[in-house]
C-alpha cells in the first residue's frame, strides 16, 4: 500500500486496471441489456438514460457491449501475451545462457522473424491458421515471440557477466541451478517491465485483427469488432466508436503507466 501511496502513477494505473477488471468480471450484473440482442427499431439512438452510450446500427446497447467486450478483448490479449511470454522467455534464457552455436541458431531464426513487421507477420499467420479468437491469439502471440526473446537474451547476457554468477560457475554449480537461483531473479525487473509493453501490444494487435474481421464471430461484443461497427456508422452515430475506443485506450494507457512506474522501459538493444 505504501508503494502505491508514494508513487501516484502506480496508484492511478492500479486503480484504472482494477476497475476495468471488476467491470469485465461483473459484466452480467453491470450490463443493462443483452449485448447481442438486436432491436432494429432502436437503431442508432443517441446516448440516453436507457442506453447510456447509445445504440449501434443494429439497435444493440453500446454500453452493455462495451462492458461485455472487455471480457473478450482482454481475454484474447492475455492468451496472446501468454503465447508470447512462455516461449519468448524459454528461448531467450537458453540462447543467452548456452551461447555458442545454439545462441547463433536461435537468434538467426528470431532475426528472420523480426524482419517481418509484427502486424504483417500476424496477418500472414492468420492466413495460415484461419479466422477465430484462438487463431488470432496464436497469430499475434507468435509474432511477438522474437522481440521478447531478444530482450530476455540481452538481460541474461548482462546478468551472467556479473562476478557472483561467474563464481557460481567456477565452483561447479549446475547451469539449471544458476539460471533459477541467480539469473532469473536478476532479470525479473526488466522482463516484468517489458511484459507490460508486450501486453499492451497484444491488446492493440489482437484488437486490430478483430477490427479487420478475422475474429470469426462478427456479432460478438468485442472492442475491436465494435470499432469496426463504429466505422460503418460514424457519419450518423459517432458514439458507437467512442465508447470501445476510450475503453481500449484507457486500458493500454494504464498498462503502460504501470510498466513505467515499476521500472523504466528497457533501452533499445
Interacting residue with another protein among 45, 81, 126, 136 (CB under 8 A): 126
How many CA atoms within 13 Å lie on the side-chain side of 79? 16
Shortest reach from residue 85's CB to another protein, in Å: 20
Please identify which residue in the block is written with the cell numbers 545454439: 102
The answer to whether 261 contacts another protein (rule: CB under 8 A) is no
Q: Which of the stretches 42-50, 56-64, 111-119, 163-171 binds another protein when contact is defined by CB under 8 A?
A: 111-119
The answer to whether 148 contacts another protein (rule: CB under 8 A) is no
Q: Which of the stretches 15-23, 88-96, 123-131, 155-163 binds another protein when contact is defined by CB under 8 A?
A: 123-131
- Would you give the DSSP letter of residue 268? P
Classified as helix, coil or strand, 117 is coil
Question: What's the CA gap between 120 and 124, in Å, rounded?
Answer: 6
Site track 237-256 with another protein (rule: CB under 8 A), x = hit: -x--xx-xx--xxxxxx--x
Within 10 angstroms of residue 201's Cβ, the number of other Cβ atoms is 24
Question: What's the CA gap between 251 and 196, in Å, rounded?
Answer: 11
Rounded to an integer, what is the distance from CA 120 to the centroid of its chain? 17
Q: Which is nearer to another protein, 30 or 119 (CB)?
A: 119
Q: Which is nearer to another protein, 89 or 209 (CB)?
A: 209
Shortest reach from residue 163's CB to another protein, in Å: 21
Q: Which of the stretches 81-89, 95-103, 132-140, 235-243 binds another protein when contact is defined by CB under 8 A?
A: 235-243
- Would you give the DSSP letter of residue 44? T
Within 10 angstroms of residue 92's Cβ, the number of other Cβ atoms is 27
Shortest reach from residue 36's CB to another protein, in Å: 22
The answer to whether 225 contacts another protein (rule: CB under 8 A) is no
Shortest reach from residue 213's CB to another protein, in Å: 9
- Please name every residue paired with 61 in a beta bridge, in sequence order, or none if there are none: 55
Distances (CA, A) of 180 to 90, 103, 177, 183: 12, 19, 5, 6
Q: Which of the stretches 25-33, 114-122, 165-173, 180-188 binds another protein when contact is defined by CB under 8 A?
A: 114-122
Q: Which is nearer to another protein, 5 or 115 (CB)?
A: 115
Shortest reach from residue 252's CB to another protein, in Å: 4
The answer to whether 52 contacts another protein (rule: CB under 8 A) is no
Distances (CA, A) of 235 to 58, 103, 231: 15, 54, 8
Footprint on residues 60-89 left by another protein (CB under 8 A): none
- Would you give the DSSP letter of residue 99? -
Specify the long-range contacts of residues 98-104, CB closer than 8 Å, at least 24 apart. 103/153
As given in the structure block, the three cell numbers for residue 45 are: 439512438
The answer to whether 268 contacts another protein (rule: CB under 8 A) is yes
Which residues lie near another protein (CB under 8 A)? 108-109, 111-113, 115-121, 123-128, 200, 204, 207-208, 211-212, 224, 227-228, 230-231, 234-235, 238, 241-242, 244-245, 248-253, 256-257, 264-265, 267-269
Amino acid at each position: 500500500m505504501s508503494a502505491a501511496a508514494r508513487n501516484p502513477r502506480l496508484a492511478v494505473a492500479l486503480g484504472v486496471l482494477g476497475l476495468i477488471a471488476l467491470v469485465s468480471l461483473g459484466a452480467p450484473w453491470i450490463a443493462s441489456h443483452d449485448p447481442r440482442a438486436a432491436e432494429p427499431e432502436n437503431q442508432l439512438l443517441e446516448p440516453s438514460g436507457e442506453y447510456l452510450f447509445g445504440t449501434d446500427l443494429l439497435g444493440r446497447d453500446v454500453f452493455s457491449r462495451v462492458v461485455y467486450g472487455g471480457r473478450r478483448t482482454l481475454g484474447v490479449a492475455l492468451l496472446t501475451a501468454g503465447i508470447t511470454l512462455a516461449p519468448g522467455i524459454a528461448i531467450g534464457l537458453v540462447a543467452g545462457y548456452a551461447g555458442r552455436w545454439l545462441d547463433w541458431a536461435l537468434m538467426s531464426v528470431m532475426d528472420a522473424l523480426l524482419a517481418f513487421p509484427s502486424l504483417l507477420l500476424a496477418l500472414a499467420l492468420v492466413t495460415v491458421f484461419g479466422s477465430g479468437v484462438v487463431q488470432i491469439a496464436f497469430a499475434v502471440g507468435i509474432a511477438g515471440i522474437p522481440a521478447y526473446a531478444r530482450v530476455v537474451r540481452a538481460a541474461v547476457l548482462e546478468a551472467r557477466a556479473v562476478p557472483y554468477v561467474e563464481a557460481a560457475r567456477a565452483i561447479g554449480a549446475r547451469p539449471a541451478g544458476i539460471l533459477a537461483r541467480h539469473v532469473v531473479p536478476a532479470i525479473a525487473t526488466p522482463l516484468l517491465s517489458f511484459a507490460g509493453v508486450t501486453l499492451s501490444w497484444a491488446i492493440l494487435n489482437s484488437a486490430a485483427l478483430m477490427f479487420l474481421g478475422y475474429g470469426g464471430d462478427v456479432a460478438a461484443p468485442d472492442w475491436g469488432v465494435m470499432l469496426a461497427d463504429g466505422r460503418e456508422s460514424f457519419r450518423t452515430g459517432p458514439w458507437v466508436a467512442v465508447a470501445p475506443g476510450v475503453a481500449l485506450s484507457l486500458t493500454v494507457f494504464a498498462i503502460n503507466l504501470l510498466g513505467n512506474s515499476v521500472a523504466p522501459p528497457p533501452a533499445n538493444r
